[in-house]
């Protein structure tokens, strides 16, 4: 069954696999808020586990927001979990700080927590990574209402260096065409150096949310999300959702101008996992439905396969249900 909570909306999430158990880390906020748009200011991170990606046991909230004035004093947003060479787990998450109750202006930076068992977490002083205005748009440098530096996706390359992909915006170009995949590197998983973006502007996206690198049937793909109002250029007027594009390597370049829609935005913030049979499956949160209501739950796994573009290049597709 889909993962849901009776008294809370559930939306963005990420997964960690310890080899025996899947660990789901999810954003949640009380339905008592009434307006689901308010969930972003009230998001906290929860934890659930499963052995099959279908049946989940909830373990509740793992982190609270920071003290007043800290980088994460408003809300905790999307991230990723990886295990270091020392066996310790690291959770990288987005700290959100709204500037006032009446404004959508907010600053997003990356924080970090550590755990020995994926259940008990300790936040480290942060942030550990912030947008560099020499390379990326920051709050006040354009009419965009936020400093986008969120949704960190962390992985190691073959040489053991760590890389962080981030939802970011370039500091140049047309306002609606600035969405890029930001990049930072680290040798110790804690000190991060911001690098140039791994994708270019003018790809048709104002933002590229919840990025993930996945391997499906021997091909590498960048998975990300962009909703309908944030599409631009070649994609203006089309429907948004979960997007994917084949990439030549984990470190790009990412040809987002070739990205195609994997599923429309009734499902959002998609993540691809590998089930215990070795099959690639997509999970996503159930977004605004046909009646206009926000569902706020996480889908069951949807099998993914490799299809082909007209030019023969690989693309991700859902298997027919």
- The sign of the dihedral angle between the CA atoms of 275, 44, 110, 226 is positive
Nearest to 28 by CA among 300, 302, 298, 301: 298
- Neighbouring-strand partners of residue 307: 315
CB 209 within 8 A of CB 200: no
pTM of the predicted structure, to 2 decimals = 0.97
Radius of gyration of the chain (CA): 18
Pairing of strands 146-147, 219-226: unpaired
- Exposure on the CB side of residue 110, measured as CA atoms within 13 A: 31
Q: How many CB atoms lie within 10 A of CB 6?
A: 5
pLDDT means per 10 residues in the chain (321 residues)? 92 98 98 96 98 97 96 98 97 97 93 98 96 97 96 97 98 97 98 98 98 96 98 96 97 95 97 97 92 92 91 87 65
Report domain extents, the chain: 64-318
The confidence score (pLDDT) of residue 1 equals: 56
- Token pair of 42 as six digits: 């009230």
Architecture of domain 64-318: 5 Propeller (2.115)
Alpha helices, DSSP H, located in the chain: none
- The sign of the dihedral angle between the CA atoms of 226, 227, 232, 238 is positive
Distance CA 245, CA 243 (A): 7
């Amino acid at each position: 069954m889909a993962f849901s909570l009776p008294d809370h909306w559930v939306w963005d999430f990420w997964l960690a696999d310890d080899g025996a158990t899947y660990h789901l880390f999810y954003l949640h906020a009380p339905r008592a808020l009434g307006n689901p748009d308010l969930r972003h200011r009230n998001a906290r991170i929860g934890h659930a586990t499963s052995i099959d990606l279908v049946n989940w046991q909830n373990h509740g909230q793992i982190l609270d927001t920071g003290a007043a004035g800290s980088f994460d004093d408003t809300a905790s947003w999307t991230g990723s979990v990886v295990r270091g060479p020392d066996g310790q787990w690291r959770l990288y998450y987005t700290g959100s700080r709204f500037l006032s109750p009446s404004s959508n202006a907010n600053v997003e930076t990356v924080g970090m927590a550590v755990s020995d068992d994926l259940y008990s977490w300790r936040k480290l002083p942060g942030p550990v990574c912030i947008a560099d205005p020499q390379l990326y748009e920051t709050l006040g440098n354009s009419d965009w209402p936020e400093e986008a530096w969120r949704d960190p996706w962390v992985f190691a390359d073959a040489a053991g260096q760590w890389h962080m992909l981030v939802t970011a915006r370039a500091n140049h170009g047309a306002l609606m065409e600035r969405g890029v995949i930001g990049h930072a590197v680290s040798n110790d998983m804690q000190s991060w150096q911001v690098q140039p973006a791994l994708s270019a502007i003018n790809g048709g996206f104002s933002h590229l949310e919840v990025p993930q690198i996945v391997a499906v049937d021997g091909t590498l793909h960048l998975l990300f999300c962009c909703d309908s109002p944030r599409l631009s250029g070649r994609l203006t007027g089309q429907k948004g959702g979960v997007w994917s594009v084949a990439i030549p390597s984990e470190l790009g370049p990412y040809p987002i101008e070739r990205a195609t829609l994997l599923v429309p935005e009734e499902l959002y913030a998609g993540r691809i996992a590998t089930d215990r049979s070795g099959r690639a499956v997509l999970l996503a949160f159930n977004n605004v439905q046909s009646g206009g209501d926000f569902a706020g739950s996480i889908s069951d796994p949807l099998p993914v396969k490799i299809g082909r573009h007209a030019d023969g290049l690989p693309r991700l597709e859902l298997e027919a249900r």
